[in-house]
Copies of this chain bind each other. A is one copy, B any other.
């Protein structure tokens, strides 16, 4: 029996509640399909930061490196600045392991109330290691009238090309349609370069029909005609915005999964729900586990078990369609545990 070695970082807040749910589900899927897991848990979190002064130990990346994948719950806690919790854990992992594709599927499930009445089934492919999230820049003249901050967005040919190739290939396997997010009318150095590279890569993927939209208009269209879209590719910032927005249009951020992929498999990939640690509802067992469970399904697919992954997503869809088990964020009263049990019940060996 194959055993997958998974590094697990439950993190903070509801990360501690949805992570066990997701791990139970993948184990159940493994029992049906003949594979198993060995989980190594790491307590890296804001809790740890308060105790030790760092989100992770100095050898953290070394310790993660040997695993087949990383599962992350959520990080962030009141009183710990976001840039500490995120740049001390999430972002270094994405970068050190060249997880340059952040894949964020969005579907409108039957049984979910969405602000729009439309079929939605799309994937946002977000560039995940460079772009607007850059450490380059700083501040001058602190406290004086002339004070200023600058921040350099950096787009490299290699970095943009690889994520575009991933997106075009994905589009050719889906409906053959790709939309590129840009803002080259206002942002005149990086985004015209992005647009050029899109045209360049498009030439190598002649089977994909593509267009581009400025981010402002694209956000508007995602609300007014979400069914139009299939694969949307965007920079680090634009992909972040579009995936949260699309998830909201499909009813809730609580459902949204994500995969931070190193497609070359030189390093482990990382799977995490899009939602945060939600300190306001943490500890009460009411968090929606769907984002985590669906992220875990993406991990199954990455580990070579697409049928098992499909079954997990089908189980989520079936329970939502039935409509009697919904967590609070979806207007119901089901607990994390009740929803998870229902998924497990559909995955008996």
* A contact residues vs B (CB 8 Å cutoff): 82-83, 86-87, 91, 115-116, 132-133, 135-139, 141, 144-158, 183-193, 215-217, 219-221, 223-224, 236-237, 240-241, 243-245, 247-249, 252-253
Contacts and interface: CB of A to CB of B under 8 A. Distances in A.
A158 B186 contact: no
Nearest to A85: B185
10 interchain residue pairs of minimum CB distance:
A82-B185, A220-B248, A137-B189, A149-B193, A216-B244, A147-B157, A151-B189, A151-B190, A219-B245, A223-B248
Given A152-B151, A217-B244, A224-B248, A145 B133 contact: no
Nearest to A76: B185
Contacts of A253: 217, 220
A150 B186 contact: no
B86 A186 contact: yes
Contacts of A138: 189
Nearest to A138: B189
A159 B80 CA distance: 29
A241 B223 contact: no
Contacts of A133: 186-187
Contacts of A137: 152-153, 188-190
Contact of A245 (B135, B153, B220, B243): B220
Contacts of A135: 188
A190 B150 contact: yes
A83 B248 contact: no
Nearest to A275: B217
A193 B141 CA distance: 12
Contacts of A147: 156-157, 193
B83 A185 contact: yes
Contact of A188 (B83, B192, B216): B83
A240 B224 contact: no
B83 A192 contact: yes
A248 B219 contact: yes
Contacts of A183: 237, 240
Nearest to A329: B224
A240 B186 CA distance: 10
Nearest to A130: B148
B188 A87 contact: yes
Contact of A152 (B82, B152, B220): B152
Contacts of A148: 154-157
Contacts of A154: 148-150
Most chain B CB atoms below 10 A, which of A116, A137, A215, A223: A223
A229 to B, nearest CB: 14
Nearest to A274: B216
A6 to B, nearest CB: 26
A150 B189 contact: yes
14 contacts: A86-B186, A115-B249, A132-B186, A133-B187, A137-B153, A137-B190, A141-B157, A145-B158, A150-B154, A151-B189, A153-B153, A216-B241, A219-B244, A241-B241
A250 to B, nearest CB: 10
Contacts of A82: 184-185
Nearest to A185: B82
A336 to B, nearest CB: 21
A220 B248 CA distance: 5
